[in-house]
Amino acid sequence: MNSAIERFKNSRFRNAIQKYQKYLLICFFVGGFIFDSLTLGRIDRIYDLVVLCLHMTSLTVTLYLYNLMDDGKWKNTFLERYQIYFSLAIQFFFGGLSSAYVIYFSRSVSLSKTITFFIILLALLLANELLKKRISNKYLQFSVYFFLSFTFFAFMIPVFIKKMNTPVFIYSGLVSLAVTLLLITFIYRKSPSTRAEIRIVKLFSIILVIYVTINTFYFTNLIPPVPLALDAGMVAHNVQKQNNSYLVTYERDEWYIFWRDHRLEFIYEPGERVYIFTSIFAPTEIKKSIFHRWKWFNKNTNNWELVDNISYKITGGRDAGFRGYTYKNNVKPGLWKVDVTTKEGLILGVIDFEIIIDTNLKPKKRIQRRF
């Protein structure tokens, strides 16, 4: 009697999953995204490393199981009763791995570096809804897998080898490319249904296009140099190092400017220094030179002119980021920006401000904040 009741409940549960699978796929994608958003903190923490490695490994295994499902490989095995959940698990891991990139770079003061990813993420979500044919979903599955594995290895490899530069990024991309192509080749050989539904040359071409696109984004500064991130950056009137902290003096912006507290209009008093303070996150034991490239906008030529390029070194491992500052004397009035870059010239963020020299203009009340 009890077994009959259990079978009835399981049957109703499975029927409900099949009926609402379209909506459940989105829910599991968002669920994976939210789960990591609430639990992940920093890429070099043991918990984060374990969770992301489990996500990547589980996604790889589940993709293999899912793509061999239609060939009857799991019939009369214990996996047969769980086949209905494979697609939901894939969406959960997609969401979990997607969130990793956003989490570790959402702290960056340069939103333009993460907006590219959000656009790609939205496109993937729309594609997942609009592409109904199974053959399209096959291409989509492996394309998303490669995109996420690329970002995964781009984060992980620098953490494990404790080194971050352009060759390491290129190596990370090649590792993800090799892993993805090996997985596709293995599934293609094992699954007759996959061979019937996709053209392997076309799929490999799509993967290569994604590979070239990500590298193009990296070298044109459309994505930040992973896994570094700019935690904080501002123009200031004074920066003092006191023991193990920095006391930064700056003007607070209006109360309705809720996304930042520092003012972009710098009221300059003759003879004072103009400081740029930055706090940069880097995983433990990664050492890197950071540059502040001071630029002034010349209205006559309508171009940005490089005024100075000042460097300082950072060592990773601090939760609130590694702090540093540069300053200039005798600055010109007008629009300024400071590119915060690596030695290779990859941009972590941009700090924009305007220097105003007006003896009749009263400066805002200055405040001090400890970093």
Q: Specify whether 153 is located in the same domain as 205.
A: yes
Residue type, 181: L
67 and 180 part of one domain: yes
- Choosing from 157, 192, 219, the residue where a domain stops is 219
Q: Which domain covers residue 52, as residue numbers?
A: 2-219
pLDDT bucket at 131, cuts 50 / 70 / 90: very low
The number of folded domains in the chain is 2
Beta strands in the chain (DSSP E): 229-236, 238-242, 245-251, 265-267, 274-281, 287-298, 303-315, 322-328, 334-342, 347-356, 366-370
Q: Are residues 298 and 340 in the same domain?
A: yes
Instruction: Say yes or no: 160 and 255 in one domain.
Output: no
Q: Is 47's pLDDT higher than 60? A: yes
Q: Is 95 in the same domain as 195?
A: yes
- Same-domain pairing of 94 and 201: yes
Same domain, yes or no, for 185 and 280? no
What's the pTM value of the predicted model, to 2 decimals? 0.73
Of all residues in the chain, the percent with pLDDT exceeding 70 is 73
Query: Does 224 reside within a domain?
Result: no
Q: Are residues 244 and 210 in the same domain?
A: no
C-alpha–C-alpha distance, residues 187 and 197, integer Å: 12
Q: Is residue 270 part of a domain?
A: yes
In a domain, 301, yes or no: yes
CATH number at residue 328: 2.60.40.1930
Give domain status of residue 115, yes or no.
yes
213 and 238 share a domain? no
Q: How would you classify residue 220: left for phi > 0, otherwise alpha for psi between -120 and 50, otherwise beta?
A: alpha
Mean pLDDT value of segment 214-234:
80
Residue 295 lies in a domain: yes
Q: What is the pLDDT of residues 311-350, one digit of tens each?
A: 877 665 555 567 888 999 888 899 999 999 888 788 888 8
Q: What is the DSSP string of 264-303?
A: SEEE--TT--EEEEEEEE--TT-EEEEEEEEEEEETTTTE
The answer to whether position 132 is within a domain reads: yes
DSSP label at residue 262:
B
Q: Considering 201, 219, 237, which residue would you say is the last residue of a domain?
A: 219
Say if 304 falls within a structural domain.
yes
Residue 259 has pLDDT above 80, yes or no: no
Least confident of 119-128, 213-222, 261-270, 309-318: 119-128
Q: Are residues 211 and 241 in the same domain?
A: no
Looking at the structure, tell me whether residues 259 and 211 fall in a common domain: no
Asked if residue 250 and residue 108 are part of one domain, the reply reads: no
Residue where one domain finishes, among candidates 219, 237, 259: 219
Residue 281 pLDDT exceeds 60: yes
